[in-house]
Structure 1
Amino acid sequence: KAGAMTAPEIALDILVNSSPQDTAKMVSLFPKGTKIRTMKIEDGTAYVDFSKEITNVPQGSYTELMLTTAIVNTLTEFPEIKKVQILVDGKKIASLKGHTDILDPLERNTTLLKK
């Protein structure tokens, strides 16, 4: 990818591509082969376009919610990002696997954060 990555892009890249340190207890939320195609920030919303592999998230509402929350909460750590629009192959889709609505930009969800 041409040019230097922004801090939000780097954070997202690490989130998507790093493996959990304790693989016995944790699995990577991101399905194998998931790529970040593009990311742009406009008016406080980050538009993140993922490859179609992200829809291979295992069945289950919890996994899907954790995945989308991880993306949104990682990016909203940055003051310039208030919401995140998840795209797949350049398009808005209703959900990754039928559970979590991602048609509209998502806001930070702190209910899943460890206290």
Structure 2
Amino acid sequence: MKRRFGYKHILLGLTLSIAVTGCANTKPNNPTNETQGGGTPVETPAAKQLKVKTFYTDDNLDKLFEREVNITYTADSDKYKAALDALKTSPDAKLFPLSKGITYRSAKLDSGNLTIDLSIASDGRLGAPGEDLLVESIRNSMFQFTEVKTIEILVDGKKTESMMGHVSLPHPIKRN
């Protein structure tokens, strides 16, 4: 007895093929392949890049030298910390990064006041000229953002008279 395949059999075969193919694709439809609870895809914000001015010194510790670097961040609120972190490594081998021993814990803008919380490692401590230049490099780097009107620098979460004991630290630092 010969069996004939009619349109119902063909239609059933196609339906099963499509169903099996659809089930085989288990990747979520997002660029990072991340999911949150329940398997719902989470969209990751795209990284943004911005060219900013950063400031370093030479071996003499007598003045600042400006360089432009690209920073990468995801949210606009992260650009301040990204710019501060850029002060930790110099793009020029002849210049010294004053922030090398500094950990920038946070940088948050609220109504024009940028609060920077930092920690200083023992190898990050500088003498009076270096501390003065460090404060100036932070000031210059942050005031390039027009929305920043004042800067409040905290050391380990506290207002201090000085970052390292040599130079008075105004609370807040105001734009000239």
Q: Give me the TM-score of the superposition, normalised by structure 1.
A: 0.74
Query: Are 2:165 and 1:94 aligned?
Result: no
Contact 1:72 1:83 in 2 (8 A): no
Contact 1:40 1:48 in 2 (8 A): yes
When Rg is computed on C-alpha atoms for both structures, the one with the higher figure is 2
Letter in 1 for 2:174: E
Greater relative contact order, per chain length (Cα 8 Å cut-off, separation 6+): 1
- For residue 39 of structure 1, report the CA deviation from its aligned partner: 1.2
- For residue 108 of structure 1, report the CA deviation from its aligned partner: 4.0
- For residue 51 of structure 1, report the CA deviation from its aligned partner: 1.4
Show CA shifts across 1:31-68 (max 9, x none).
43x21111111121110000132894222x22111100
Query: Which protein is richer in strand relative to its size?
Result: 2
Q: Aligned partners of 1:55 and 1:87: how far apart in 2? A: 19
Contact 1:44 1:82 in 2 (8 A): yes
**Identity in percent:** 31
Q: Which runs of 5+ in 1 are unaligned?
A: 110-115
CA RMSD of aligned residues (A): 2.3
Q: What pairs up with 1:58-97 in 2 under 5 angstroms?
A: 58-59=126-127, 61-97=128-164
- Distance of aligned partners of 1:71 and 1:54 in 2 relative to their CA distance in 1, 3 Å threshold: farther
- Distance of aligned partners of 1:101 and 1:63 in 2 relative to their CA distance in 1, 3 Å threshold: same
Counterpart residue number, 2:125: 57
Please give the secondary structure, in 2, of the residue aligned with 1:101.
coil
Q: Give me the TM-score of the superposition, normalised by structure 2.
A: 0.51
Counterpart residue number, 1:112: none
Which range moved further: 84-93 or 96-105?
96-105
